[in-house]
């Protein structure tokens, strides 16, 4: 039976990683986590991985001479772990073609807004300051742009009257946990098929049985 192995890249506290780890241990997500890698030493996400017995690595981006050298080191560690899919769970570095070409259309990101609205950093704050009435989160495949890759799934989150930015951020984060796990379950069931991806052609993401 198909059982994919994910490599997870993290930079922060790791609540999305925790949701994924919990889904694996409960049997909901039929996949394995081969390695969790952080560019930030001591990131909370690393402690969560260690507590679940998942191998971890720290590759501080500042100790590499260029983005490409950093990405080469990431790729080497991920290949060593023999993972098929790369999951960005709060990973705050842009990836270069060096990385993306090593895992073509196999890099999945969660973004805390309804793309294509509010790409880039602090998406929840952007939506709040804009006065959006509905925001949410998006799981998408990563391409060379910033949050521009093919969208796999989205979940809407209302902005309630009287919300503070922090309250909105927390509500979006809870939606992220749900959407990320559900989308990774689809991938583990081979219900997401990606084809195309050649420059100049549209990448097609198809949902349904393999
Ligand atoms: C999440 O809100 C995630 O969507 C965001 O970082 C947070 C990580 O939280 N990622 C991005 O903004 C990527 N551009 P977590 O460490 O608790 O999972």
Please report, for residues 96, 127, 210, the alpha-carbon distance to residue 38 in angstroms, rounded to integers and kept in the order given.
Answer: 17, 27, 33
What CATH code is carried by the domain that includes residue 190? 3.40.50.170
Contact in structure between 35 and 79 (CB atoms under 8 Å):
no
Report how many domains make up the chain.
2
Spatial separation of the C-alpha atoms in residues 183 and 120, rounded to whole Å: 21
Range of the domain at 54: 1-104
Same domain, 153 and 183: yes
Same domain, 124 and 96: no
Same domain, 52 and 16: yes
Question: Cβ(16) to ligand 1 under 6 A?
Answer: yes
Spatial separation of the C-alpha atoms in residues 111 and 93, rounded to whole Å: 13
Please determine, for residue 194, whether its predicted confidence score (pLDDT) is greater than 60.
Answer: yes
Spatial separation of the C-alpha atoms in residues 163 and 72, rounded to whole Å: 42
Question: Cβ(45) to ligand 1 under 6 A?
Answer: yes
Spatial separation of the C-alpha atoms in residues 108 and 97, rounded to whole Å: 15
Q: How far is the CA of 174 from the centre of ligand 1 (A)?
A: 11
Q: Indicate the residue among 73, 104, 135 that finishes a domain.
A: 104
Same domain, 71 and 2: yes
The pair of three-digit structure tokens given for residue 92, joined into one six-digit string:
């705050």
Same domain, 99 and 114: no
Rounded to 5 degrees, φ, ψ at 134 are: -135, 130
Q: How far is the CA of 200 from the centre of ligand 1 (A)?
A: 30
Residue nearest to atom 16 of ligand 1 (CA): 14
Same domain, 5 and 42: yes
Burial class (CB in 10 A: 0-12, 13-18, 19+), 16: buried
Same domain, 117 and 91: no
Q: What mean pLDDT is predicted for residues 71-75?
A: 98
Residue nearest to atom 6 of ligand 1 (CA): 90
Q: What mean pLDDT is predicted for residues 139-167?
A: 95
Pocket test for ligand 1, best of 8, 39, 90, 128 (most atoms within 8 A of CB): 90
Question: Cβ(142) to ligand 1 under 6 A?
Answer: no
Over residues 107-141, the pLDDT tens digits come to 999 999 999 999 999 999 999 999 999 999 999 99
Max distance between CA atoms of the chain, in angstroms, equals: 49
- 140 part of the active site: no
Residue nearest to atom 10 of ligand 1 (CA): 90
Over residues 1-14, the pLDDT tens digits come to 889 999 999 999 99
Contact in structure between 156 and 136 (CB atoms under 8 Å):
yes
């Amino acid at each position: 039976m198909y059982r994919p192995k994910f490599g997870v890249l993290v930079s922060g506290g790791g609540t999305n990683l925790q949701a994924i780890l919990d889904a694996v241990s409960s049997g909901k997500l039929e996949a394995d986590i081969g390695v969790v890698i952080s560019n930030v030493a001591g990131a909370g996400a690393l402690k969560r991985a260690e507590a679940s017995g998942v191998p971890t690595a720290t590759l501080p981006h500042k100790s590499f001479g260029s983005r490409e050298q950093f990405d080469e080191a990431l790729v080497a560690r991920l290949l060593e772990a023999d993972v098929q899919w790369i999951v960005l769970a709060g990973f705050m570095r842009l990836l270069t073609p060096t990385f993306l070409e090593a895992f073509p259309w196999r890099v999945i990101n969660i973004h805390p807004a309804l793309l294509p609205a509010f790409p880039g950093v602090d998406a929840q704050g952007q939506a709040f300051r804009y006065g959006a009435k509905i925001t949410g989160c998006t799981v998408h495949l990563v391409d060379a742009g910033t949050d521009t890759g093919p969208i796999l799934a989205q979940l809407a989150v209302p902005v309630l009257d009287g919300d503070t930015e922090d309250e909105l951020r927390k509500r979006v984060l809870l939606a992220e946990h749900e959407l990320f796990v559900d989308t990774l379950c689809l991938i583990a069931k081979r219900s997401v098929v990606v084809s195309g991806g050649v420059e100049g052609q549209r990448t097609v993401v198809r949902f349904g049985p393999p």
